[in-house]
Structure 1
Amino acid sequence: MDNPSLMRYSRHILLDELDIAGQETLIQSHALIVGMGGLGCPAALYLGASGVGKLTLVDHDTVDLGNLQRQIAHKESSIGQPKPESVRDSLLAINSELEVHTINAALHGEQLAAAVADADIVLDCTDNLASRFALNEACVSKAKPLVSGAAIRWEAQISVFHPSAGGACYQCLYKPDNQTNASCAESGVVAPLVGIVGAMQALEAIKILTNTGQSLRNRLLLLDAKTMRWREMALQSDPLCAVCGNSKVNAAE
């Protein structure tokens, strides 16, 4: 690590849990972030600023005026631009040493599986259930940790799903047949809430990549932003889960 890097990441290096070795791990890591909206913007900015050296940004949408209330990596000058490219520009303005790849499309099937397989960690920052279930299935198949966040109206949640390391996957918690797909476009969301959750997703990713502290694996945090009260639920794997129920996982918390 050269002198400019030592200066850039000095606040991380001062932390005993990270130090130079942890920062070098981040620099060599690859995060896949799916969804460049309210969650993906702060998650990407914090991961890039923290020095996660390779970022792959995925979204099929373009920036519009209604995004700017909460999607903080985009600017008025970004309107009409593909969201991954807009976020890439913001990231490189903060940290020009990053390797940033953009995918201006929705990923499905083999393309999604290949993108997941190439990453060290995956962040689900999407806003629709079909994408969440597909991303979860790909992460289980490729044994990749999945940091999942969601926010709508004044409510939010975050967890980590990694059955190959022991515990539940997203589909152990939510079943496709029992869900309704409410969106922020239909229901609204208070702007700072997505920032809170996106930043927490970045933090969980950093902890997992550097093997620091205790992640949210097998724990679901729920936030009521109107009262600023958190609740925590313990999660257990579902032995009948269609996605991970047949996995032979012997790891324990």
Structure 2
Amino acid sequence: MNDNQLLRYSRHILLEQIGIEGQEKINAARVLIIGAGGLGSPAALYLASAGVGHMTLVDNDTVDLTNLQRQILHTTDRVGLAKVISGQQSLQQINPEIIVIPLQERAQDQRLEELVHAADIVLDCCDNFVTRHAVNAACVKYAVPLVSGAAIGFDGQISVFDQRDRNAPCYACLFPPKAQFEEVLCSSMGVFAPLVGIIGTMQAAEALKLIMHIGESLKGRLLMLDAMHMEWTTIGIQKNPACPVCSGSPNLTHQAH
């Protein structure tokens, strides 16, 4: 790192659990963020400020006035702009040294697999089960750690699904693909603005820990937040031996980039 980087990241480097070695891992990391909205905004902002060297933002939506109550990547003068372009501008204003790739698309099938395979960590910051299951399947296939978050109303949840450990559960172990879950959207039910900040920031924290190989991740645990009473509940998650996604087939070895 040059002198400027040593100064920029000095408060991380001062932490003995991180130091220069940990910061260099952050700077070299490749992170894929699915969704540049309520969860993706704080997650991306903290990953950018922390120095994640290569970030890919995927979102096919544009900035709407209703987004601005909680989606802090975006500003009033960017209403109508692609969220990924708005996000790229905000992230590079915070840290011009990082590379931010904006993809205004709904990544699916082979395209999604290519993006996941190229990443070191994936953050699921989307708002629908179909996309979550597609992202999880790709992460299982290539054994790429997945940091999953969700928030609606006053309720949030976060977990880590890491198939580098073959005994660990995947998202489909917790929410089976064929199960019927009520799809509730912010547009119909609303969401408490700071809630997405709490969950999204925690997603960034889990991603950074995974990148640096420090601490203990949320693998095998689901944290649920009732923000109305500010109470956390932890639920243990077991691998489902009959899971149609992660059981019965060996994982590929994930290669660090």
TM-score range with shorter-chain normalisation?
over 0.9
Q: Which residue of 2 aligns with 1:169?
A: 170
Alpha-carbon distance in structure 2 between the residues aligned to 1:180 and 1:60? 23
Equivalent residue runs for 1:187-202 within 5 Å = 187-202=189-204
State yes or no: 1:117 paired with 2:117. yes
> Greater shift after overlay, 173-182 or 3-12?
173-182
Q: CA deviation at 1:34?
A: 0.3
Give the total of aligned pairs: 249
Question: Unpaired segments of 5 or more residues in structure 1?
Answer: none
Whichever residue aligns with residue 71 of structure 1, its letter is: Q
Q: Which residue of 1 aligns with 2:183?
A: 181
Q: CA deviation at 1:147?
A: 0.1
Q: Which residue of 2 aligns with 1:243?
A: 245
Q: CA deviation at 1:185?
A: 1.1
Aligned-residue CA RMSD (Å):
0.9
Q: CA deviation at 1:246?
A: 1.1
Whichever residue aligns with residue 82 of structure 1, its letter is: A
Q: Which residue of 2 aligns with 1:76?
A: 76
Q: Which residue of 2 aligns with 1:159?
A: 159
Q: TM-score, normalization: structure 1?
A: 0.97
Alpha-carbon distance in structure 2 between the residues aligned to 1:174 and 1:220? 12
Q: Which residue of 2 aligns with 1:14?
A: 14
Can you list the C-alpha shifts for 1:75-125, whole angstroms capped at 9, x where unaligned?
A: 011111110110000000000001110110000000000000000000000
Question: 3-state DSSP class of the match of 2:69?
Answer: coil
Identical counterparts, % of pairs: 50
Q: TM-score, normalization: structure 2?
A: 0.95
> Greater shift after overlay, 174-183 or 220-229?
174-183
Question: Unpaired segments of 5 or more residues in structure 2?
Answer: 252-257
State yes or no: 1:59 paired with 2:29. no
Whichever residue aligns with residue 176 of structure 2, its letter is: K
Q: Which residue of 1 aligns with 2:255?
A: none
Alpha-carbon distance in structure 1 between the residues aligned to 2:239 and 2:183? 23
> Greater shift after overlay, 82-91 or 171-180?
171-180
Q: CA deviation at 1:12?
A: 0.2
Equivalent residue runs for 1:25-40 within 5 Å = 25-40=25-40
Can you list the C-alpha shifts for 1:34-82, whole angstroms capped at 9, x where unaligned?
A: 0000000000000000000000000000001000000001001111111
Q: CA deviation at 1:247?
A: 3.6
Question: 3-state DSSP class of the match of 2:117?
Answer: helix
Q: CA deviation at 1:164?
A: 2.8
Q: CA deviation at 1:163?
A: 2.4
* Displacement over 4 Å in runs of 4+: none
